[in-house]
Amino acid sequence: MITYRVSTGFVRLSDSPLDTFAQNVTDKLTGNPGFTAPLVSIAALTTAEVAFATAMVAAQGGGKQATATKNMAREALLLLLRQEAAYVQSIAGEDLPLLLSSGFEPASTNRTRIQLPKPVIDRIDNPLSTRLGVRVKPVPTAAAYEVRIRYETTGWEAVGVFTQARSIVIEGRTPGTVYDVQARAIGGTTGYSDWSDPVSHMAM
């Protein structure tokens, strides 16, 4: 009998798709007779999703504090989703229809290892004050792109995962500061590509 593994690919979703995914999982687990004792209660999962959605709206106005709050809410939601995924795995590992009824998805059974090529940053511009717009050359088979940033002697700071290579926006930057930006592709069966060569640009 085939044992299906619950995919944790949701960790690579950008913010809005992640929120939609969490809502779908909550809806499908609510009253689901196949999952009567979730490891994470529906109430707790709903509370984390609402907190993340609220933080996303607040972060749209920019600012480091709002962005940091949103990122913390995202990580809290991901932690609960990972725990719930493990619970679903324990119940429905050999029952694909039941697994799918939870809102989670099965991991690919394709064992061919596909190494993603290192992406290239085409351009960085200043769409608005305190924001950097990053354009990455699309990588075939990539599901998303992770971006990190640094300035002067600081360490690298993760700024998010984005599904659109040509419309990446980094918010909350300090005008007059020169930042180094890197991106890496997410997908395939190896998970991540190498980081791109860093590209420098000044925030305005």
pLDDT at position 116 over 90:
no
Would you place residue 143 in the very low, low, confident or very high pLDDT band (cuts 50, 70, 90)?
A: confident
Question: Higher model confidence: residue 160 or residue 68?
Answer: 68
> What percent of the chain is predicted at pLDDT more than 90?
71
Question: Higher model confidence: residue 18 or residue 154?
Answer: 18
* The pLDDT of residue 186: 83
**Distance from C-alpha of 100 to C-alpha of 116, rounded to nearest angstrom:** 28
- What contacts 15, CB < 8 A, 6 or more positions away? 52, 56, 70, 74, 160
pLDDT at position 173 over 90:
yes
Task: Give the CA diameter of the chain.
Answer: 60
Q: What is the DSSP string of 86-107?
A: HHHHHHHTT-HHHHHHTT--BP
Would you place residue 5 in the very low, low, confident or very high pLDDT band (cuts 50, 70, 90)?
A: confident
